[in-house]
Structure 1
Amino acid sequence: MSEERRSKMYMPPLPILQPIVPLGVRINKGKRTGVPVPLRFRISALGLASLRGARGYRAAQCTELAKPLILQDLPPPPLQPHQVRVGVQYCGLNFADILACQGLYQDRHTPPFTPGMEFSGTVMETGENVSAVKEGYRVIGVTGTKAMAAECVVDEKMLWQIPDSVSHEDAAVLPIAYGTAWLALCRRARLQPGETVLVTAGAGATGLAIIDLAANVFQAKVIAAAGSDPKCELAVTRGASHGVNYSRGSLREEVKALTGGRRVDVAIEAVGGDVFKAALQSLAWEGRIVVMGFAGGKIPSIPANLLLLKNVSAMGVYCGRYQQEDFPLFSTAISSVLQYCQEGKIHPHIGAVFKLEEVNEAFNHVLQRESTGKVIISMK
């Protein structure tokens, strides 16, 4: 890789974690010299944990906003009565994680913190008041941060048991992408069998989840829109009836032609800018458009006359707010997609798997728009 390209990357390769150095030993070019060192020599968090008789665990930490993450060894926090300690197998990488590490996410976090909002893993330990899960249970979990680590402590209500037929890899994809997709289609758009759905950013994690659910669970017809031909082709292989490359030509005219002039009943829009306007114009009479994000970076304004002329409904979906305001519905969304996965109705698409040591490369992979489907981080 050229130095010019490397300089443009958001995060350079992850620095190698330094070994733990015992007191009284100096390291010189990788060799122990036996020369005494002052007692003020800095000890890592894991070293301190070891001195206290506690074990440590690896975590990717944001120690400074808009800088590379670093691997650190952290002492395990004590469990509260209602909490569960989970050995994380995989952490789903969301664009919100990247925004949080840049200081640009709506929920601000002060460094140092460990990013990661969703995970799959195995229960290691439970608090004294925990009854929903037991040690050894395979679970998925949702948390604001902390999941990009070998261990994660969460409230028991934020865990859902993984069915035996579902792998840890597939399960790690479900909470955010499929949970959001279920809420967008079922709760907000109230999609009906036989209706036609337009989904933008159709090759992304949530876009493919919407295609999967709409086509295979809700029995709807799906038109996927994406920014390249390969991404459109992927969307079609995952269940879309048609793919439209909105980087060339008119999305509005393509949708009109594909629907015989009728247009679509529902649009799930995640790009913003001109793509949002084209999706709005592609709605049929009494159509519904659900705003899911602004991947293109431009937040659009809604022309109210378009809502009026076709009796169109415009709404948003934000998975995290349901977690706060209507937790039973949020939990139903995740339980539902777990059941669909168990029944073989849906098939999550994993675009790439990175090791925890490669977390900065994973961030770059997403930022450079190289990813399709879900990117997950492995703790193995």
Structure 2
Amino acid sequence: MRAIRITEFGGPEVLQFVDDEAEPTAGDGEVLLEVSAAGCNYADTHQAENSYLAPSSLPLVPGAEAVGTTPDGRRVVALLAGGGYAERAVAAEALTFAVPDEVDDGQALALVLQGTTAWHLLRTSARLQAGESVVVHAAAGGVGTLAVQLARRWGAGRIVAVASSEEKRELARELGADVAVDAGVDDLASALRDANGGRRVDVVLEMVGGPTTDASLAALAPFGRLVFYGMASRRPPTPVAPAALMSRSQGVIGFWLAHAMRDPDRLLAEPMRELFSLTAAGDLRPVVGGTYALSDAAQAHRDLRERRTVGKVWLDPGR
């Protein structure tokens, strides 16, 4: 079958388009999907170079999410252990979700991983309270576009979007951000405080790492929470001392969706129901960005790494 195969770790150049990948076989508690759309995430670029939280082994077919049809005709979206960049993939039944007719493939992909991440960042990790200010880094990305909308819906006081271009900042404002800040500004900590009316911020959703994390922590208010869920810059932030957090009454919280996947009935079913319902009703807008042929997966990774994409990026296995 057609698929993307990785036989050595590295950058986008290691993604090989092949037509002789072995067909996957579903085991107990699993289901085989005829894939109609495969999600492409920034985390996939880390997996390709083996710099992600979970180490990979070779050879591998990447891809952590897919929309497809089951042998009994159900249209579902699924979180995968891998193998999504292919014509067919195997998913655990517990991690598949029936897609409403009102939700298209790209929207379903946007919700199942990035949407549930945004949901948990705000509700589970940050425990957002009405009236609190929220900073969303990478606000035009898959998680960021949904986090801006959910924060607005759930009563955030002031939403500060951070993005790398004026086009992306305008998108964030359209989605509900009160103000947008240039990610490349010289003094990011001051820019975040200025964007919040001169006050320190209550919640920061951070996935860049390095100086961006440091500046975000410097802008955090007492009792503020910084939720760290990625390191796109591939640069670690300055280590945080517990005593320093105590002196400022602040919290730094990590989040990885893999832990929610271990208990899907409790930690994924509710977010998916809410996200699907909001989308079907037109109250939530999953932003579907670029669609690439499966054979162009390497270009999709280049564009993700160069910040040339917005919203959800996905691959078409039929191309």
TM-score (normalizing by structure 2): 0.91
Quote the offset at 1:112 in angstroms. Answer: 2.0
1:80 to 17, 27, 30: 27
Secondary structure in 1 matching 2:120: helix
| Number of the residue aligned with 1:60 | 4
Distance in 2 between the 1:249 and 1:100 partners?
Answer: 31
1:206-225 correspondence to structure 2 within 5 Å: 206-225=143-162
- Give the secondary-structure state (helix, strand or coil) at the position aligned to 1:74: coil
Structure exhibiting the larger radius of gyration computed from Cα positions: 1
Q: Quick check: 1:62–1:70 contact (8 Å CA) kept in 2?
A: no
User: For 2:53 and 2:116, how far apart are their aligned partners in 1?
Assistant: 19
SS in 1 for 2:2: strand
Distance 2:230 2:86 in 1: 27
2:184 corresponds to 1:237:
no
Q: Which residue of 2 aligns with 1:199?
A: 136
Among all aligned residue pairs of Structure 1 and Structure 2, give the percentage whose two residues are the same amino acid.
29
Instruction: Give unmatched runs, 5+ long, in structure 1.
Output: 1-56, 126-134
Matches within 5 A, 1:257-336: 257-300=194-237, 301-304=239-242, 306-324=244-262, 328-336=266-274
2:281 matched to which residue of 1? Answer: 343
* Number of corresponding residues: 314
Q: Aligned equivalents of 2:33 and 2:146: distance in 1?
A: 26
Is residue 315 of structure 2 the alignment partner of residue 377 of structure 1? Answer: yes
1:251 to 170, 188, 195: 188
Q: CA deviation at 1:189?
A: 0.6
Identify if the C-alpha distance between structure 1 residues 358 and 246 changes in structure 2 by more than 3 Å, giving closer, same or farther: closer
Deviations 1:25-78 (A, max 9, x none): xxxxxxxxxxxxxxxxxxxxxxxxxxxxxxxx3221113322232222334344
Question: What is the match of residue 100 of structure 2?
Answer: 163
Q: CA RMSD in A?
A: 2.0
**Structure 2 match to 1:108:** 55
- 1:144-155 alignment, distance < 5 Å: 144-155=81-92
- In structure 2, relative to structure 1, the CA distance for the partners of 1:220 and 1:318 (3 Å cut) is farther
Given that 2:74 and 2:98 are in contact with CA atoms closer than 8 Å, whether structure 1 keeps it comes out as: yes
Give, as a single letter, the amino acid of the residue that structure 1 aligns with 2:111.
Answer: L
Partner of 2:297: 359
Please state how far the C-alpha of 1:159 moved relative to its aligned partner.
0.3
Moved more, 67-76 or 235-244: 67-76
5+ unaligned residues in a row in structure 2: which ranges? none
Residue aligning to 1:71:
18
Pairwise CA distance, 1:228: 3.0
State the distance in 1 between where 2:156 and 2:197 align: 20
- Aligned-pair CA distance for 1:253: 1.9
- Per-residue CA distance 1:304-340 (angstroms, 9 max, x = gap): 4552333112111111122236762133333332222
Contact between 2:206 and 2:226, CA under 8 Å: does it hold in 1?
A: yes
